[in-house]
Amino acid sequence: MQILIVILQQPNFFGCVEEIEGLAKKVHAAGGLFIVSADPISLGLLKAPGEYGADLVVGEGQSLGNPRSFGGPGLGIFAVKKDLARQIPGRLSGMTVDLEGRRGFCLTLQTREQHIRRERASSNICSNEALAALAAAAYLAVMGKGGLRKVAELCLQKSNYLKKKLGKKVAFLAPTFKEFVVKSDKNIGLSLERFYPELRGHRLLCVTELAQKEALDSAAEALLSK
What digits encode the pLDDT tens for the residues 16-28? 999 998 999 999 9
Query: What value, to the nearest 5°, has the Cα angle with vertex 162 and ends 157 and 166?
Result: 145
**Residues 183, 15: Cα–Cα separation, whole Å:** 14
Domain ranges of the chain: 144-224
Q: Which of 76, 30, 35, 29 is nearest to 52 (CA)?
A: 35
Which one is predicted more confidently, 111 or 219?
219
Q: How confident is the model at residue 206 (pLDDT cuts 50, 70, 90)?
A: very high
Architecture of domain 144-224: Alpha-Beta Complex (3.90)
Give me the mean pLDDT over the 109-119 stretch: 59
Q: Supply the pLDDT for residue 3.
A: 80
Neighbour count for residue 213 (Cβ, 10 Å): 10
Residue 84, pLDDT above cutoff 80? yes
pTM exceeds 0.95 for this model: no
181 pairs with which residues across the strands?
204
Q: Are 35 and 8 in contact (CB under 8 A)?
A: yes
Average pLDDT, the chain: 88
Q: How confident is the model at residue 68 (pLDDT cuts 50, 70, 90)?
A: confident
